[in-house]
Amino acid sequence: MSDKIYDVIIIGAGTAGMTAAIYARRASKTALMIEAKTYGGQIINTPAIDNYPAEPGISGYDFAVKIFEQAKALGADIVYEKAVGIEDGTIKKVKTEKGEYEGKAVIIACGSENRKLGVEYEDMLIGRGVSYCATCDGMFFRNKKVAVVGGGNTALEDALYLAGVAETVYLIHRRDKFRGDDLTASLLSKRGNVKFVLNSRVTKLIADKRLTAVEVTDNKGNTTELEVSGLFVAVGRVPENQPFSDLIELDEAGYAVSGENCRTKTPGVFVAGDNRTKEVRQLVTAASDGAAAATEAVKYINAREDI
């Protein structure tokens, strides 16, 4: 709780949120980040980032600490509370599980969560063979056998990416037809090291400290074991937009509908990073959204004479 009225309240302290805080502070606006877990967001568990300019190989943790320290040094505040809603008004109120915070503009940047498979030991094996990001972690599986599970574009693109890295890629999908683009599916079918495992689900993870195999059960109940050291789970993401759905328009997958300016249907409420509709969900685009959303928020505040 705080009696202060912040210029910009940012829900989420991942790459998008922390970048927004940096931009808000550099425009001399007060900024509060409200973070439900730890700062850093999705990238925090990635061992090495190789696709962010100027920082090849940096760990997700070090990357997060660097942005956080930059935001803090500029004077951004942070509280660790879960935001549960926004009340619109001339001054907006962000409700948390513990209280509420007032701000002139709000940026929603709390990201999305990976949809889990829901099989036993899945959480325990994250970073020990189980991954939710092929472009982040694929290189650790060079010349090894891996599996991708899912049938959407992410799974197809992950499989195609991994086909260029791994020895063998099993693509496991619960239906006989992929939901993702036919073109990508057709490219995959021409890759000699990609094997489709259709009408099947991953029913068990087998591990000896690290993942060693997955048990797959087909729609007729037959089980087989695939020896793999990596399992890339690509069964969709769940954006954390529901608490704010009265103020923002959501698409059918739950993403907040917005363009590059990060505006929403509610003036003074912006959305950045993985919360919003976009083609490329990567660190670099999260940072870019943070900059755009904060710049728009500053413009919004400066244009209003009543706040």
Q: How far is the CB of 157 from ligand NAP (least distance, A)?
A: 5
Stretch near ligand NAP under the rule CB under 6 A, chosen from 3-11, 147-155, 216-224, 291-299: 147-155
Stretch near ligand NAP under the rule CB under 6 A, chosen from 62-70, 102-110, 150-158, 163-171: 150-158
Stretch near ligand NAP under the rule CB under 6 A, chosen from 73-81, 154-162, 211-219, 290-298: 154-162
Query: How far, in Å, are 17, 57, 81, 169, 197 from residue 164 at the CA level?
Result: 33, 20, 42, 10, 19
Q: How far is the CB of 223 from ligand NAP (least distance, A)?
A: 16
| Interatomic CA distance for residues 206 and 125, integer angstroms | 10
Kindly tell me which of 9 and 286 has the beta carbon lying closer to ligand NAP: 286
Is position 114 an interface residue for ligand NAP (rule: CB under 6 A)? no
Tell me whether residue 208 is one of the annotated catalytic residues.
no
- The strand pair at 230-233 and 130-131 is best described as parallel
**Active-site option among 137, 158, 274, 289:** 137
Q: How far is the CB of 116 from ligand NAP (least distance, A)?
A: 8
Is position 174 an interface residue for ligand NAP (rule: CB under 6 A)? yes
Letter for the amino acid at 109?
Answer: A
Tell me whether residue 110 is one of the annotated catalytic residues.
no
| Interatomic CA distance for residues 224 and 8, integer angstroms | 53
CA angle 6, 242, 84 (to 5 degrees): 45
Strands in 168-172's sheet, in edge-to-edge order, are 130-131, 230-233, 145-149, 168-172, 194-197
- Residue 114's CB is within 10 A of a number of other CB atoms, namely 16
Is position 12 an interface residue for ligand NAP (rule: CB under 6 A)? no
Q: Which residues contact ligand NAP by CB under 6 A?
A: 115, 117, 149-155, 157, 174-175, 179, 201, 234-237, 253
Catalytic center residues: 133, 136-137
